Amino acid sequence: MSSHRLFRFPKPEWMNSANTRTFGVYAAGALFSLGFFFFVDAATFSRSARNGSDVHVNFVDWVPGICSALGMLVINSIDKSRLSADSFSYSGNGVAWKARLVLFLGFALMAGGLAGSVTVMVLKYVVPEYPFPTLWFGVANVVANALIMLSSVVLWVAQNMEDDYTYNLAL
């Protein structure tokens, strides 16, 4: 067993295949689209004639989803190899801490989006005690942000898996 492993147990062999990476990318896309489907469904239902209340989805409800989507873009723009690349080979000094800072900001955007969606749900839908068809607007917002967060993590792990088809050019 190599000495640079964090855990005692070896990594499973199925994680080294190109098919696993492809499945992870497709699964992340499915989670992302499912999350936005839930929210867009709630937004369109809120403006339809079948909505029996005066409460509608407006810009305040969209802000957490925008934060989560921006966080997903920021997180998946970071290459995993940059997190431990403290050398002059990448374009200067201190690349690792810059990459870690950007990764932290991406996760902070996503966590802020999820916390914002819970806050909007509680303040806008739970406290006034709206019934469930109207409460669904807030629940869909939380579900959408949770699925976007999960899809971002799945995509980052899937994109940064090492397999037999990648070449390590470090000397």
The pLDDT score that the predictor gives to residue 87 is 57
* pLDDT above 90 coverage of the chain, percent: 43
Residue 125 CB partners (closer than 8 Å, separation 6+): 55, 134, 135, 137, 138, 139
User: What is the rounded average pLDDT of the residues 81-102?
Assistant: 71
Give the whole-angstrom CA distance, residue 112 versus residue 118.
10
Residue 96 has pLDDT above 90, yes or no: no
Residue 130 has pLDDT above 90, yes or no: no
pLDDT tens for 41-69 read 999 988 888 887 788 889 999 999 999 99
The pLDDT score that the predictor gives to residue 48 is 85
